[in-house]
Amino acid sequence: MPGSAAAVRYQAAAPAFGSGFDRRQLADQLSTLFRDRASFELNEEDVVALRRGLHLSSRDSLAALRRSIEGSRPDPTLQSEFTAWQARHPCALQKFSKISQGAKGKRLAVFLDYDGTLTPIVKNPDEAFMTEQMRDIVRQLAQLFPTAIISGRGREKLENFVQLKEMFYAGSHGLDIVGPRDPSSPHEQFAFQPAARFESTMNTVYDTLSARVRSIPGASVEHNKFCVSAHFRNCNPESWEGVLAAVQTTVAEHPELKYSKGRKVLEIKPQVEWDKGKALTHLLDALGLDDSSNVMPIYIGDDNTDEDAFRVLRLRADGMGILVSSKAKPTAATLTAKQVSTSYWL
């Protein structure tokens, strides 16, 4: 909450950009997140569809197909559309000099999504581990600026993945927020849970939904405390409707809940006016960084749920939203970066 010891400590620790601070430090850390890609990337679902449609059985033939497609010239129409989209949402690295110039004298805060931003999207959600290189990058960012990870993951699971005590963590799409513990007080910790009253309900939903999808091959349910996620990435397409029906039936039994769709996941959440954008606003306010005239918040994410945060930053004088994507799609982000993978981080 505003005024907590952890928040006050971070207010004092946040340096003004360009005031006793080498801006190359931020550039060096952020640039590893945005290594430019020379070709379009085939998403896993595209690969599966191609393999099924072209009857490719061996990994070698699939790899050859991937190399052939990625090495070929993109369709001119698609290339033109992508170029037009990129002109509206330019590459973050290409604009970094201009961004850093505009950030001089301002206080910075960095907000990051987790899956698809700090780690690649993986088949098993429990195996979305950060590389040590990425962990070191995020650690250095957190030592320079107030830094938070805002994710749909459960907050405790998120902390176990990241393993950095310098961070603010906002799990369940911002419904469960904690900050670094104040070393001067063993009891004082920045914390906020706007949906705490739903914890028991979400436990029930997890048990009910798990039972309903148990017979669907490849389906899995993840308990993220104030958000229950039904994953269908590993299901055959003909099974997707079954997962959707299970989610819809479960939500119908709890009118105080709602569901939304992410990247091969359906998420059940409480009917509260809260999202990643409101979590970002809450953190800025709690850290004394709500004055848009001398603060530049940067938010980096890849998913539809990150759009709420991008929209919040669009309303600020110097907010900077960066969409991680290799495909053109509607976004409120100002800048973009190609989709990241471990082989391109360093």
SS (H, E, C) 110-159: EEECCECCCECCCCCHHHCCCCHHHHHHHHHHHHHCCEEEECCCCHHHHH
Q: Where are the beta strands (DSSP E) in the chain?
A: 107-112, 147-150, 168-171, 176-181, 189-192, 220-223, 228-231, 257-261, 265-270, 295-301, 320-324, 335-337
User: Which of 298, 335, 312 has its CA nearest to residue 109?
Assistant: 298
Query: What pLDDT band is residue 62 in, cutting at 50, 70 and 90?
Result: very low
Residues whose CB falls within 8 Å of the CB of residue 304, separated by 6 or more in sequence, listed in order: 260, 261, 262
Provide the percentage of residues in the chain whose pLDDT is more than 70.
Answer: 72
The residue that leads in pLDDT, 294 or 44, is 294
Q: 5-36+91-193+274-344 maps to which CATH number?
A: 3.40.50.1000
pLDDT of residue 12: 42
Tell me which of 79-88, 110-119, 150-159 is least confident. Answer: 79-88
* Residue 207 appears among annotated catalytic residues: no
Give the integer Cα–Cα distance in Å for 67 and 62: 9
pLDDT of residue 24: 57
pLDDT(249) > 80: yes
Helix axes 23-31, 132-144, angle to 10 degrees: 150
Domain boundaries, the chain: 5-36+91-193+274-344, 44-86, 196-270
Query: Among residues 75, 113, 275, 318, which one is catalytic?
Result: 113
Residues whose CB falls within 8 Å of the CB of residue 190, separated by 6 or more in sequence, listed in order: 1, 4, 6, 7, 168, 177, 178, 179, 180, 286
CB neighbours (10 Å) of residue 93?
18
- Could you report the per-residue pLDDT of 198-221, keeping only the tens digit for each? 999 999 999 999 999 999 999 999
What mean pLDDT is predicted for residues 161-178?
Answer: 95
- Could you report the per-residue pLDDT of 282-324, keeping only the tens digit for each? 999 999 998 778 899 999 999 999 999 999 999 987 889 999 9
Mean pLDDT, the chain, integer = 80
Tell me which of 42-51, 56-65, 110-119, 174-183 is least confident. Answer: 42-51
CB neighbours (10 Å) of residue 191?
13
- For residues 218 and 239, is the Cβ–Cβ distance under 8 A? yes
Query: What pLDDT band is residue 246 in, cutting at 50, 70 and 90?
Result: very high
pLDDT(153) > 90: yes
pLDDT(44) > 60: no
User: Which of 158, 163, 161, 197 has its CA nearest to residue 174?
Assistant: 158
pLDDT of residue 316: 86
pLDDT of residue 292: 77
Range 196-270 classified under CATH 2.60.40.10: no
